[in-house]
Amino acid sequence: MNTVPMTKEGLDKLNAEVAELEERRPKVLQQIKEAREKGDLSENAEYHAAREDLSMLEGRIRELKDKVSRAVIVDKTKIGGDTVVFGATVKLLSLSDNEEEEYTLVGEGENDPLNGRILTTSPMGQALLTKKVGDKVEVPTPKGALKFKVLEIRYV
């Protein structure tokens, strides 16, 4: 069983999502009950849609509870150093177009790729782990490897 590193804030966010989804469950069950009362289930689109909603809801709840059960809280005050680990903010230079990019490696519930917050388990996060300033990084993608150079590592 793999552990899932995350901050206290990330764990709180996952627990809040679980609570919200569990709060929605009775409403979906009520929709199923009401649709079932309308008769022939084989041609009842409302019934099938509500059952699908329940299935997706239950799946997401199970997924989140699994992550919460494997969570390991990382104390942000105790991370740092000269290598990239969970919590690092890394400034990179793209070797293909000389553009600078910046990413912060985060855990489940904290990722926001559009704002540079990527999971340590993502391809980019995995490629960055244990790198140091000056190291070259190669990230595999379906269209070929992306190449970067590590310019700076910060812990904020």
Give the per-residue pLDDT at 1: 64
Last residue of a domain, one of 51, 73, 95: 73
Give the DSSP letter string of 107-146.
-TT--BGGGTEEETTSHHHHHHTT-BTT-EEEE--TT--E
Looking at the structure, do residues 89 and 148 belong to the same domain, yes or no? Answer: yes
Looking at the structure, do residues 54 and 115 belong to the same domain, yes or no? Answer: no
52: containing domain:
4-73
Looking at the structure, do residues 136 and 89 belong to the same domain, yes or no? Answer: yes
Give the per-residue pLDDT at 17: 95
Residues 125 and 118 sit within 8 Å (Cβ to Cβ):
yes
DSSP β-ladder status, 4-6 and 136-139: unpaired
pLDDT at 118 over 90: yes
pLDDT at 39 over 80: no
- pTM exceeds 0.75 for this model: no
**CATH number (domain holding residue 20):** 1.10.287.180
Q: What's the whole-number mean pLDDT along residues 53-75?
A: 93
Last residue of a domain, one of 73, 100, 115: 73
pLDDT at 42 over 80: no
* Phi, psi values for residue 16, rounded to 5°: -65, -40
Give the per-residue pLDDT at 37: 84
Question: How many domains does the chain fold into?
Answer: 2
